[in-house]
Structure 1
Amino acid sequence: MVTWLHWIDLAGVAVFAIAGTLMAYKKHMDGFGVVVLAAVTAVGGGTLRDMILDLPVFWVQDPSFFYVIIFAACITIIWLRTQNTFPLKYLFFADAIGLAFFNVMGCQKALVYGASPLVAIALGTMTGVFGGLIRDVICREIPLVLKGELYATACIAGGIVYILCQHFAINTMLCMLAGFSITLMIRLCAMKWHWSLPIFNPHDAVKDE
């Protein structure tokens, strides 16, 4: 099981590295900027998760993650050089897939190391959103997690599904697939139909007392 979990983790890193590279292309960064943005997007959330769990940071222990980041960035750059326009939809799609990957991996790792279900859901959400948040702050963009369309909420829903599947003793791989699918589906639907959780009425003026 450890082997295929490692490959899933690598896949999540690769997808988020692609999202970081796409954003670097959008911002016209140089080669160094591309690598930095791809790396922080790919490992930011997992780094925060491991620090909270008081574990060795995963990419410090295994340099293969950086090989994957560099490879994913290079492939994306080669592909982008053949395009005439910036494929913004691919950035959002890659980000959504990376979000779903890291959400379930964060939940899974938190549970393995003794976290409660509630904490596991929180750490899964942090793992999913933190890398993208750092990327957007560096690029002076409003982080996707702070925008109206469901983002962190998708992670919470996927995490709840994953925890419920674990509670009913369903195979771990199926639990992860269910959590991944719910997270991705909610995020993609939110992007397409602009789902959100409005708190304040934007038409209400703020009144001074």
Structure 2
Amino acid sequence: MTSDYFEFLSIIGVAFFAISGTLLGHDKNIGGFGVVVVASVTALGGGSLRDVLLNQPVFWIDNPNYLYATYSAIFITVLFIRHLPNVSSYYMLLLDAIGMAIFNIVGIEKSLLQGTDMIVAITMGMTTGIFGGLLRDVICAEVPLVMRQELYSTACLLGGLTYAVLFHLDIAYLWCIIGSVLVTVLLRLGAIHWGWQPSIFKKGRMQ
């Protein structure tokens, strides 16, 4: 991955997560500075954990452009909400899905650049994609999306596996990204609209 691609994807992912955090903060009637905290944690939390685990400089400390993207996304979203205060929570879920899909890719790529195995990279992608949203939901006293009985972390995992398959088939790099993002986002939208959920344990009547 070129540095330009990497930074572009990261900034887009940060912006989407910042917007989703701002929308949830609005939905929970959190005060002004609290919204900034929630949105910033959402945008920066997953990538920060990733970099700590990979023993790399934390991305937003190393490159302040990510902070500019975060605060700009928060500011623009706040202005939007002031004019359309009844914005649906669906948009938070949609933006969260897109942000998760993008951060999944970024986590995979950054891990691979450090020489990890693909299975480690896929796990790191999931960590990057999920952790910011997990912190957001905990701070807002919500049951985290990742803990609910619907496709969330599974969507992230399958998006990562899609990337791995396309990568090993030597498919063009851009299509590896597009394929992974589409799988992750479409699975999340399916979970939102139709309640798709993985079934790990067979439910039965207690005797």
What's the TM-score once normalised by structure 2's chain length? 0.95
Partner of 1:34: 35
Letter in 1 for 2:25: A
Partner of 2:103: 102
Aligned mates of 1:176, 1:201 — CA distance in 2: 34
Aligned mates of 1:30, 1:176 — CA distance in 2: 37
Residues 15-42 of structure 1, C-alpha deviations (whole Å, 9 max, x = no match) = 0000000011011112211111111000
Aligned mates of 1:31, 1:66 — CA distance in 2: 18
Gaps of 5+ in 2: none
Identical pairs, percent:
43
User: Is residue 131 of structure 1 aligned with residue 155 of structure 2?
Assistant: no
Report the number of matched residues. 206
Partner of 1:148: 149
SS of 2:83's equivalent in the other structure is coil
| CA separation of 1:32 and 1:111: change in aligned 2, threshold 3 A | same
What is the CA-CA distance between 1:173 and the residue it aligns to?
Answer: 2.0
User: Is residue 89 of structure 1 aligned with residue 90 of structure 2?
Assistant: yes
Partner of 1:182: 183
Residues 125-149 of structure 1, C-alpha deviations (whole Å, 9 max, x = no match) = 1100000000000011000001011
Partner of 1:8: 9
Partner of 1:80: 81
SS of 1:81's equivalent in the other structure is helix
What is the CA-CA distance between 1:203 and the residue it aligns to?
Answer: 6.1
What is the CA-CA distance between 1:86 and the residue it aligns to?
Answer: 4.0
Residues 91-130 of structure 1, C-alpha deviations (whole Å, 9 max, x = no match) = 1111111111101111111111111111111110110000
What is the CA-CA distance between 1:171 and the residue it aligns to?
Answer: 2.2
Letter in 1 for 2:110: K
Letter in 2 for 1:153: T
Aligned mates of 1:17, 1:48 — CA distance in 2: 17
Aligned mates of 1:25, 1:70 — CA distance in 2: 16
Gaps of 5+ in 1: none
